[in-house]
Copies of this chain bind each other. A is one copy, B any other.
Amino acid sequence: MPKIVDHEKQKQRVAEAAWRVIREEGMEQATVRKIAEEAGMSVGSLRYYFSSQSELFAFSMNLVSERVKERIRSISFSGPSRESMKLLLKELLPMDEEKRFEGEVWFAFTAKALSDKSLLSLSQQVYRELRSVMALIINSLVDQGLALPDLNAELETERLYALIDGLAIHGTLEPGQVTPDLMENIVTAHLKSICKAERTSENG
Contacts and interface: CB of A to CB of B under 8 A. Distances in A.
B112 A26 contact: yes
A174 interface: yes
Given A28-B27, A114-B104, A115-B24, A162 B159 contact: no
Majority-rule SS of A interface residues: helix
A50 interface: no
A107 B131 CA distance: 20
Each complex incorporates copies of this chain amounting to 2
A139 interface: no
Contact of A165 (B26, B104, B115, B170): B170
B111 A152 contact: no
A169 interface: yes
Interface stretch (A1-9, A33-41, A76-84, A184-192): A184-192
A189 B152 contact: yes
B158 A162 contact: no
Interface of A: 22-29, 104, 107-108, 110-112, 114-116, 123-124, 127, 131, 152, 155, 158-159, 161-167, 169-170, 173-174, 177-178, 182, 185-186, 189-190, 193
Q: Which 9 A-B pairs have the closest CB atoms?
A: A166-B166, A26-B115, A162-B166, A111-B111, A28-B28, A165-B166, A162-B167, A163-B163, A159-B186
